[in-house]
Amino acid sequence: MNKLRMQLRILVMVVVSLVFGMSVWSCATEIVEESTTEYPKQGARSSNFVEGPHLVYDKDSVMILQSVELNGEMSLTSKQFDRAGLSEIVVNKSGYLPRTFNVKLKNQIKSEPSVYHVAETIFAVSDIEGNFNTLVNLLQQHGVINSNLEWSFGSGHFVFIGDIFDRGNHVTEMLWFLYGLEAQAAEHEGYVHILLGNHEAMNLRGDLRYIEPKYSAFSELAKQQYGIDHTILFSDRTELGRWLRSKNVIEKIGDKIFVHAGISPALVESGFSLEAINELSWKTLNTPKPEFTDTDKLIWGKSGPFWYRGYFDVDEERWGPVASQADVETALEQYGGSHIIVGHTHVEKPELRYEGKICAIDVVPPADHLVYSPPLQAYGVLIQDKDFFIADENGQLVKLLN
């Protein structure tokens, strides 16, 4: 009887499909795909209150400033230490899938080189934007770190092509995690490359348009109680601010060029070397816009390495002309590269463009504190010599073809 009923239901669906000229099955699928329900993940709300730690220096002393949840509200705590006596800090990542990890402080922070020797294996991500769990899962699934958040990639190189900041609730935790991962990688002859994106630059310049509400609340409390606002938290008076100011906007590893947004024809025509582009980019971080020179405007503007979108089909009135194949080839020739790997402009999955010369990897990441239906997928890219692979959040690799 049940089998007969099922057969009758299928027959009815087929008849309806024929009569109305549509597939009942496809309609059911479309309804599911169009659902965009969002709701907080378990424990996620606590991430609205827990922030830090921030290390703020005053001569030979350092204040550790952070917040905790107290009776459903954000409450600031601070401790003073002698700088020479502080060698390690504890970071508490709150919210969904909470974690606690220790970070050893650096004895010295140096500016990064712009050019590196060939690396046999490179794993790259971009635009994770404060979503700690997403980053950790990708790195674990592809053997970059282990379950204890420790480096396990040997002599491989890991590249974060900008936009750690904004839109997510765990920016500070991600910064400390990457800060600590650098030293671990170096112990194994590996390397961690952190490149500045437009969102890092905006925060360092004091442009806070995209920060999450919790960071505004933390900054307001810090300003009221200690005279420290968000800009100071990432200034050269702080450990994270000093560290971020040592980072480049563009680097070359072997013949692979990594840059947050891209290399425009205008930047090529300027004749600036990679080293010069990085030095000029650092200058814009501390220069008010009214004081910008023409060079500053190039570096910070829509043709600069922070904001360029010429490799994509975008509004040309707003972002300028789309690059030609010749433009890409000229940039590669000038800087001695075979490929340019970029983030900044969204794609569904990592992909190759411009006859395989441009690899675009900015995929909108799943948020740590929200659940999406259908779920968003996270991706990185694995590079081995001339081969590029889509690296998904389940540890699977798919070779990218031109």
Render pLDDT for 88-138 as a digit per residue (tens, 0 to 9): 999 999 988 899 999 999 999 999 999 999 999 999 999 999 999 999 999
Give residue 371's pLDDT band: very low, low, confident or very high (50, 70, 90).
confident
The single residue listed with the structure tokens 């390690």 is: 88
Give residue 26's pLDDT band: very low, low, confident or very high (50, 70, 90).
very low
Please report, rounded to a whole number, the percentage of residues in the chain having pLDDT higher than 70.
89
Which has the minimum average pLDDT: 45-49, 213-217, 383-387? 45-49
Q: What pTM was computed for the model?
A: 0.88
Q: What is the 3-state secondary structure (H, E, C) of 249-280?
A: CEEEECCEEEECCCCCHHHHHHCCCHHHHHHH
Query: Quick check: 27 pLDDT over 80?
Result: no
Render pLDDT for 209-236 as a digit per residue (tens, 0 to 9): 899 899 999 999 999 999 998 889 999 9
Query: Quick check: 169 pLDDT over 70?
Result: yes
Query: Quick check: 356 pLDDT over 70?
Result: yes
Residue 373 confidence (pLDDT):
64
Give residue 316's pLDDT band: very low, low, confident or very high (50, 70, 90).
confident
Task: Say which residues have a Cβ less than 8 Å from residue 162's Cβ, sequence separation at least 6.
Answer: 126, 127, 195, 196, 197, 198, 199, 200, 249, 260, 343, 344
Render pLDDT for 133-161 as a digit per residue (tens, 0 to 9): 999 999 999 999 999 999 999 999 999 99
Instruction: Report the alpha-carbon distance of residue 33 to residue 393 in Å, rounded.
Output: 20
Residue 39 confidence (pLDDT):
52
Question: Across residues 382-392, what is the average pLDDT?
Answer: 96
For residue 114 the two structure tokens come to: 């712009």
Q: How many CB atoms lie within 10 A of CB 351?
A: 16
Query: Quick check: 342 pLDDT over 50?
Result: yes
Give residue 52's pLDDT band: very low, low, confident or very high (50, 70, 90).
very high
- The DSSP string of 87-123 is -EEEEEE-SSS-EEEEEEPPS---PPPSEE---SEEE
Residue 262 confidence (pLDDT):
98
Q: Is 129 left (phi over 0), alpha (psi -120 to 50) or beta?
A: left
Instruction: Report the alpha-carbon distance of residue 148 to residue 54 in Å, rounded.
Output: 23
Give bridge partners of residue 75 from the DSSP assignment.
68
For residue 299 the two structure tokens come to: 């570096």
Give bridge partners of residue 387 from the DSSP assignment.
384
For residue 329 the two structure tokens come to: 């080839």
Instruction: Report the alpha-carbon distance of residue 16 to residue 24 in Å, rounded.
Output: 8
Of 7 and 222, the structure prediction assigns the larger pLDDT to: 222
Domain boundaries, the chain: 2-34, 44-104, 115-399
Phi, psi (deg, nearest 5) at residue 93: -90, 115
Q: How many CA atoms lie within 13 A of 361 on its CB side?
A: 31
Residue 236 confidence (pLDDT):
93
| CATH number assigned to the domain covering 115-399 | 3.60.21.10
Residue 369 confidence (pLDDT):
72
Whole-number average pLDDT of the chain: 89
The single residue listed with the structure tokens 């936009």 is: 163
Residue 15 confidence (pLDDT):
37
Residue 242 confidence (pLDDT):
96
Residue 40 confidence (pLDDT):
64
Q: Cβ-count burial of 18 within 10 angstroms (0-12 exposed, 13-18 middle, 19+ buried)? A: exposed
Give bridge partners of residue 104 from the DSSP assignment.
88
Residue 231 confidence (pLDDT):
86
Q: Which contacts qualify for 145-149: CB closer than 8 Å, 24 or more apart?
A: 145/181, 149/99, 149/101, 149/177, 149/181
Give residue 62's pLDDT band: very low, low, confident or very high (50, 70, 90).
very high
